[in-house]
Amino acid sequence: MLYLIGVVAFALGILISVSLHEAGHMVTAKAFGMKVTKYFVGFGPTLWSFKRGETEYGVKGIPLGGFCKIVGMTPQDDDVDPADEPRAMWRFPLWKRTVVMSAGSVTHFLLAIVTLWLAAIFMGLPNPALDKPQAAYVKVTNCVVVDAQNRDCTATDPAGPAKQAGLQDDDKITAINGVPVATYTDLVNEVRKLQPGSQATINYQRGGADQQVNVRLGSVQRPPVDDPSGAVTSVAALGVAGTLPPGIPTMIKYNPVTAVPATADFTGNLAVNTVQSLQRLPQKVPALWDAITGQPRDADTPISVVGASRLGGEAVQHGLWEVFVLLFISLNFFIGVFNLLPLLPLDGGHIAISWFERLRSWVAARLGRPDPGRVDYFKLMPVTYVVILIGGAFTLLTITADIINPITLF
């Protein structure tokens, strides 16, 4: 029951955030004097609506987003009443159109940042130490995953060498074959230098006492540490994961004042991670297809709203509200950045065209040539259809993977 509540709550939260996205467009457009004729939550047949002033508000039958109709979004709009021509969006100054078109993404960013600030106060944010090099404290794994997939152990994976040798969680590795290791990164690098299947002497501390053990290393397939997208090769594996030193909290709470810089730092990291995730999207398509065709699901593959809602349900089921909230924040930030990509029909595509028009007019004026005028959106329709087709196929792929072979928390 808790799982279902979590799924519905997360999906509802995303629907509300997308509705606020469209409200951002509407509010800024109205503030500048543009005419907004419709604001609806959902798509498909109208379930309920009312008209206030010149705008019709309502709810439609398919709760998969929303839309806001601004008169004259492009010069080619053919449904503009002659009386509304002066208020057509394309007639307004460039900066006003930019504000209106970016208002949806800004709404997502504000929603994410405000939620982050509240989370920092009442729930806490991940300890910043998690992003810094740590001493080589380890968590011993039950197995080593042989293939280059980010997944849980299966019956075919060999037992973890460290576990077989008697290493325990929270042991601090200090040296391998006499070579000191100061951080967990050093540990990984030193293990990678060794021959798969060879024997290694591990020096470690447990309870403050220095100890030593010999371990027969495993053999796994991994890309280079500094190039996750590089060619996979056979490397040595110890069968451990990095962990924080005992007693270090994973979450830290802040007061309303100290929560401000903490929120800013987290937002900066989130922005970097979001951009990196977008850059990796094309190379993750094969992994999504593998997941659909029966291969283990890579936890680093993209997820749809369906997959995110399922993770939200798991988080609520296990009482992990911090995971629920941080997932909601991350998804909002991702949607905000994605919508600013300079591709039609995304908001960023309209913004890019507006600025291209201005630049083209400026260049023409400097060269003494006539103003080339507005971009003909009809000529861009083939490109727009290609973007829609690719986006639709990718969405269908992620939804299918999230239904057939979803990413799970446990």
Hey, which residues are catalytic here? 22
Nearest to 148 by CA among 215, 91, 233: 233
Distance CA(363)–CA(55), nearest Å, equals 39
Give yes or no for a contact between 236 and 195, defined as CB atoms under 8 angstroms apart: yes
Structure tokens at 258: 């100290």
Q: In whole angstroms, how far apart are CA 277 and each of 116, 273, 334? A: 20, 6, 9
* Strands in 223-337 per DSSP E: 233-237, 240-242, 251-252
CA dihedral (399, 400, 405, 410) in degrees, to 10, reads: 10
- How, if at all, do strands 125-126 and 199-206 pair? unpaired
Burial per residue of 237-264, b for 16 or more beta-carbon CB atoms within 10 angstroms, e otherwise: bbbbebbbeeeeeeeeebeeeebeebbe
Give yes or no for a contact between 340 and 348, defined as CB atoms under 8 angstroms apart: yes
CA dihedral (110, 114, 119, 124) in degrees, to 10, reads: 90
Handedness of CA 22, 24, 30, 32 (dihedral sign): negative
Residue written as tokens 């982050």?
116
Type of residue found at 369? R
* Strands in 77-198 per DSSP E: 125-126, 138-140, 172-176, 179-180
